[in-house]
Structure 1
Amino acid sequence: MSLPDLPTGWQVWNEEPDGRVILTFRPDVFTEDEYPAECLPTIYVTNGSRKRRPGAGQYQTEEWHVELFLEPEIEVLTETFDTRDAALEGAVDVAGRFADGDVDPRAHYQIPREDYFAALDRLTGDE
């Protein structure tokens, strides 16, 4: 299955044949000039292990995961699917919810980043 059409603002950053897919939101504005590059919203589609130890992700599992990150350590949501095709559809759904402003990043930060939240609101049209 090829990746379905992505919601506005999302693009394919990397796609491995029959493997992992990485989607990014508005990489054109997440540069050091406008918004911090490390805050680039990213969706990973993978069947790698979710164990929290170094190198665990390189081991394939029977499940596929869709993970939305706002920064490398800020995981906003994870959804699990039985197949890669279902995970790709799930990733497009997550991307759409994010682009529509239906994903609130505020609950996932211990230290509020109000300027960043305001920027996300502007980019997703959720002002």
Structure 2
Amino acid sequence: MTDADDLPEGWTVWNDEPGGRRILAYRPDVFDTEQFPPACLPTIYVAGGAPNRPPGETEAASGAPDVWRVQFFLEPDVELVSARTHDSREAALDAAGELAREFARGDLDYRGAYQVPREAYLDRLDELTGRR
């Protein structure tokens, strides 16, 4: 199971509900309203339930989840990696850690996730992640 010590540089556990949702954030020190808009914070979500769960339905309402999803967003409407499902929270946490490592290695094409490129932001993200 991935914990904060296993994450690559720049990634942090932003939120961790015991036995529930976990949110990993990339460089929250930079996405601070001054250097980058906070909405552009690269974020990996681990949560119980299928990706197409109806709005408002919670784990508590539906019982213990039998599936866990992992999603990677560059900003609220820009999904870098579509939801992937796993049989357990531990497997989902491991997958989230691997996504963070792939991002850190430069294996994920975040530029390709944008239909309308935001060149200044993406150039700055390249600098921040060491891709330039």
The TM-score normalised by the length of structure 1 is: 0.89
* Partner residue, 1:47: 48
Number of aligned positions between the proteins: 127
- Show CA shifts across 1:93-125 (max 9, x none): 000111122111122212110111112211211
Structure 2: stretches of 5+ with no match in the other structure: none
Give the alignment partner of residue 102 of structure 1, picking from 107, 115, 121: 107
Structure 1: stretches of 5+ with no match in the other structure: none
- Show CA shifts across 1:23-57 (max 9, x none): 10000000111011100000001113322643245
Give the alignment partner of residue 90 of structure 1, picking from 69, 85, 95: 95
What is the CA distance between 1:79 and its match in structure 2? Answer: 2.1
Q: CA RMSD in A?
A: 1.8
Instruction: Report the identity percentage.
Output: 50
1:63 aligns with 2:54: no
Q: Residue 33 of structure 1: SS of its match in structure 2?
A: coil
1:16 aligns with 2:20: no
* Cα distance in 2, alignment partners of residues 82 and 33 from structure 1: 40
* Cα distance in 1, alignment partners of residues 54 and 77 from structure 2: 14
* Cα distance in 1, alignment partners of residues 92 and 21 from structure 2: 10
Moved more, 21-30 or 3-12: 3-12
Q: Residue 89 of structure 1: SS of its match in structure 2?
A: helix
| Contact in 1 for aligned 2:50/2:68 (Cα 8 Å) | no
What is the CA distance between 1:2 and its match in structure 2? Answer: 6.2
